[in-house]
Amino acid sequence: MPRLVRRVLDGLYLAGGVAAAACLVALLATIAAQMLARWTGEVVAGSPDYAGYFMAAASFLALAYALNAGAHVRVRLLLSGLGRHRRMAEIWCHGVGTVLAAHFAWYAVKANIWSNRLNDVSQGQDATPLWIPQLAMSAGTLILAVAFADQFVRVLLTDHEGVGEAELADETVPVDREP
């Protein structure tokens, strides 16, 4: 894969991670503002709703970054025990992951479009048009689908052994322990 494409994709995944971190900071600020408002007797309308939007946005935007960092739950014991069949299992897992992530992204974007068409608004005090917070879900699932496709192509066409390959390789090396 050309270096420019690799750098662009890695930048995309990093941007998703940075956006997720920014959403966590916004979540903290929202909760702190709500606490301060309660102490002063004021009301911040819709702050629990916005806190929920920021939490969901952080979760979805971090998916691709976490995938490439090897932070998703994987069955490492099974993969390390497959021996010579490990590569086929990695190809199968990344292929299935790519299909599922693309399917999820398709329906996330479709739900976002329908929320906009129907002028769907939240039922909380904020009455936010739901397509706005759903944009983060759509963006996160699209980036995840790209990341899975990227990993699938890398595993299929190169010697790349999948996400978290260094950690997985370390687990198969026996460790000499001194008495």
Contact indicator for 43, 37 with CB cutoff of 8 Å: yes
In a domain, 137, yes or no: yes
- Higher pLDDT pick, 60 / 86: 60
Asked if the model's pLDDT at residue 99 lies above 80, the reply is: yes
In a domain, 134, yes or no: yes
In a domain, 93, yes or no: yes
Give the list of residues 6+ apart from residue 62 with CB closer than 8 angstroms, or none.
Answer: 16, 17, 20, 140
pLDDT at 16: 97
In a domain, 169, yes or no: no
The radius of gyration of the chain's CA atoms, rounded to the nearest angstrom, is 21
pLDDT band at 75 (very low <50, low <70, confident <90, very high): low
In a domain, 31, yes or no: yes
Asked if the model's pLDDT at residue 175 lies above 50, the reply is: no
**Predicted confidence (pLDDT) per residue in 113-150, tens digit:** 999 999 999 988 888 999 999 999 999 999 999 999 99
Instruction: Tell me how many domains the chain contains.
Output: 1
Contact indicator for 58, 17 with CB cutoff of 8 Å: no
Contact indicator for 46, 128 with CB cutoff of 8 Å: yes
Exposure class string for 120-144: b at 16+ Cβ within 10 A, else e: eebeeebebebbebbbbbbbbbbbb
**Predicted confidence (pLDDT) per residue in 18-44, tens digit:** 999 999 999 999 999 999 998 998 888
Contact indicator for 125, 45 with CB cutoff of 8 Å: yes
Q: Name which of 172, 168, 170 is nearest 76 in CA terms.
A: 168
pLDDT at 78: 74
Backbone φ, ψ for residue 154 (5° rounding): -65, -45
CA distance 90 to 150: 13
pLDDT band at 61 (very low <50, low <70, confident <90, very high): very high
pLDDT at 44: 81
pLDDT at 159: 78
In a domain, 175, yes or no: no
In a domain, 179, yes or no: no
Q: Tell me the pTM.
A: 0.83
Domain, as residue range, for 102: 3-161
Two tokens, residue 179: 């008495």
CA-to-CA dists, residue 9 to 143, 156, 157, angstroms: 9, 17, 17
Contact indicator for 68, 156 with CB cutoff of 8 Å: no
Asked if the model's pLDDT at residue 81 lies above 60, the reply is: yes
pLDDT at 138: 97
Q: Within 10 Å of residue 73's Cβ, how many Cβ atoms?
A: 5
59: amino acid identity, one letter: S
In a domain, 127, yes or no: yes
Asked if the model's pLDDT at residue 106 lies above 50, the reply is: yes
pLDDT band at 87 (very low <50, low <70, confident <90, very high): confident
